[in-house]
Structure 1
Amino acid sequence: MIIHPVVQMERMKEEHQASVSQLLFQGFCSKFGANLNDAQMVMLFEMCLSLDEQQGKSERIVAMKEDAVLGSLSLQLKARSGELRSSIAVTELLPLWKGIQDVGWRRALGFVLRLACLSHRPVRGEMYIADITVHERFRGTGVGRAMLEWALREAVTRPGVRYASLHVSGSNLGAKRLYECMGFRTLEVQRSSFMTWLFEEPEWNYMIHEG
């Protein structure tokens, strides 16, 4: 069943954060789950979402059907010269410190290390799709394709954007086939013994979509 014609794309709102945190957990628990239980991981994802929104580091989009969040993606672009990110007050960091204390420094550090290793700094002209995930009940129904189609249309409308890009692990063959069908090509296959040890993934494909 293809449902994407009735999916609406909109900027994530505060009331969506809990649902998006669950989506991120569903999509990436295998990569971030070392020594963390499910509730701890969801909490850390939600804290990261809040900080990203406060700092303006990315644009989080949700795919909605009626009032349900079916999917989410994050877009990142290079900051313009002289552009300032919004600052964060110390009081806004208190929930993060409390969360780290609840999880434990060692476990939180492992989570942050994995998050940092998967991060990418876009260059000028690049619109980077930092993550894309679909609710497990709606995978294979066209939601992921609909979000990618939206992102590619968005890239065309953004001044100065020359291409869209993303990373996908070499073992995620289904996602890689979808990206290729939509016009992405592998620009570089990245291999790292450290990343292999950390994620049990020997290679990552950096893919771009031009035009």
Structure 2
Amino acid sequence: MITHPVIHMERMKEEHRASVSQLLLQGFCNKIQFGTGLNNAQLQLLLERLLVLDEQRGEGQRIVAMQEESVIGSLSLQFRAHSGIPRPSTTVMDLLPLWKGIQGVGWGKTLGFAVRLACLSHRPARGEMYIADVSVHERFRGSGVGKTMLEWVLREAVTRPGIRYASLYVSGSNVGAKRLYERMGFRTLEVQRSTFMGWLFGEQEWNYMIHEG
């Protein structure tokens, strides 16, 4: 019988970084590693550096789902800049601190990682709460954690002044995740097909989905 763990959501703290980088590795290694030659240890190192970089740049909010003292899920929320000026999409130069001087990974591999992150970035529009990623610990998949996290996001969107809709991207091959999003009330606004994205990630089709109200 599948049990539904009691979880609570909170802002990521410094002591959560290692656990969150492991979650991101579990959830996205197939896509991010594709064509880079990075092994799991190298990719986790870069992901942990990325979490630090995002905090330094003020890139939205990283939220964790906690069961007791364990991180069992994580998601990243991004918004339009408070100044009213749209935040530009991430560029390779923005990600320079990730790979400059990193030893044991190699500049070529880390640059490949940075390029993939830049291509996956999204510039939120006015009134948009963008869910940049959602990951659940492999032991808790199918137990309702992802649904609980999305329910929290949708409640959070209602409480934030000026937010009109939540959004996310999901690859065409991730049928299970897309079905979950549809059950949660998301609808596909646009289907994007790109040979270049297929070359980078092994995924040519990406669905841009939104949840209004």
Which residue of the partner structure matches residue 116 of structure 1?
118
Distance in 1, Cα, partners of 2:19 & 2:42: 15
Which residue of the partner structure matches residue 22 of structure 1?
22
How far off is 1:58 after superposition?
A: 1.8
Which residue of the partner structure matches residue 32 of structure 1?
32
Q: SS where residue 101 of structure 2 aligns?
A: helix
Which residue of the partner structure matches residue 3 of structure 1?
4
Which residue of the partner structure matches residue 180 of structure 1?
182
Q: What whole-Å deviation, never above 9, does each CA across 1:20-73 have from its counterpart, x for those lacking one? A: 000000000001113001110000000000010111112000000011000000
Which residue of the partner structure matches residue 72 of structure 1?
74
Verify: 1:50 aligned to 2:52, yes or no: yes
The aligned runs of 1:30-179 (5 Å cut-off) are 30-33=30-33, 34-81=36-83, 97-99=100-102, 101-179=103-181
The alpha-carbon distance between structure 1 residues 184 and 95, as it changes in their structure 2 partners (threshold 3 A), is: closer
Contact 1:47-1:96 at 8 Å conserved across structures: no
C-alpha root-mean-square deviation of aligned residues, in Å? 1.6
How far off is 1:2 after superposition?
A: 3.8
Contact 1:61-1:74 at 8 Å conserved across structures: yes
Distance in 2, Cα, partners of 1:96 & 1:210: 38
The one-letter amino acid of 2:9's match is M
The one-letter amino acid of 1:26's match is Q
Q: SS where residue 98 of structure 1 aligns?
A: coil
Between structures 1 and 2, the one with greater helix share: 1
The alpha-carbon distance between structure 1 residues 82 and 206, as it changes in their structure 2 partners (threshold 3 A), is: closer
Distance in 2, Cα, partners of 1:12 & 1:65: 14
Could you tell me the TM-score, scaled by structure 2's length? 0.90
Distance in 1, Cα, partners of 2:127 & 2:98: 35
The alpha-carbon distance between structure 1 residues 183 and 97, as it changes in their structure 2 partners (threshold 3 A), is: same
Contact 2:99-2:111 at 8 Å conserved across structures: no
For structure 1, the residue ranges without an aligned partner over 5 or more in a row are 86-92
The alpha-carbon distance between structure 1 residues 200 and 96, as it changes in their structure 2 partners (threshold 3 A), is: closer
Distance in 2, Cα, partners of 1:206 & 1:47: 27
Aligned residues: percent identity? 70
